[in-house]
Each structure stands twice: as C-alpha cells, then as structure tokens.
Amino acid sequence: MKFPCQKEKSSLFGEIYRPIVELEVETRAGWITLLAYIDSGADISILPASFLKAFGVTVEEEEIREIRGIGGAKVPVIMKDVRMKIGELTFNSKIAIALIEDVPYILGREGVFDKFEICFRQKEKIVEFKPTT
C-alpha cells in the first residue's frame, strides 16, 4: 500500500510534504476513515477528545495519564484498545485519546509498526506499508 505525502505550508521551509496514512478505526457507530500523520517518533497513536464519545469512553479520574510531546508539553490522555484497519489488515491497537481537541491525528509505533514494514520514500513523496503478518 502506498500513501502520498501531504503538501503543507511550513514556517521554516515554506512548502513541505508530510507523511500521512489513510486508516480506519472502529467506533460505536461503525468504521471511521481518518488521515493521520505517520510519526516514527511517537510512542503511541493519538486522537483528539471528540473520539471519547465515538468510542463510548467515560473519563474516570484514575485513568487519566499524561504524555509529553516536543518541548515537554503535557497532554492528558485516556488509553483505549481499538480495532484499526490499514489497507486490508485489521488489528487491535492501543491508542491515546487526548482530553483536549487541539491535537492532530497521529499514527505512532505501539501496536502498529510491528505489523508493517514501513518505507519512507522522501524523494518520491510517498510512504509504503507492507504487512509483516
């Protein structure tokens, strides 16, 4: 499966191509298709707070954890096991649902990268996913 990089504006580079993947997550209402940034530096996949309702998650104070991003910024999250699909491969993965809305859709390593051989083809502006299972 090949996914084109997304052309975006950058304050540092003007125009840049960022690696994205089309994936699906299973919610209470069925499968939802998303475009997420592929982040090999992210420990876990992250979705914004609006997904709490989609997954039927109630927030219990003792379940709230914090993750840190670049610069040490803390984001409160709830961990959730979800069904995810990339191409024809459907699998379970742990994700973090942020308790704030202002986070991008991120595809991180945990529960995902071990299921694929992922090749970033910078020159061609594509990312290729090959299932390993």
Q: pTM for the complete prediction?
A: 0.90
Nearest to 35 by CA among 55, 64, 16, 8: 8
Q: What pLDDT was estimated at residue 124?
A: 96
Size (the chain), residues: 133
pLDDT tens for the chain, 133 residues: list them: 999 999 999 888 889 999 999 999 999 999 999 999 999 999 999 999 999 999 988 888 888 999 887 777 889 999 999 999 999 999 999 999 999 999 999 999 999 999 999 999 999 999 999 999 6
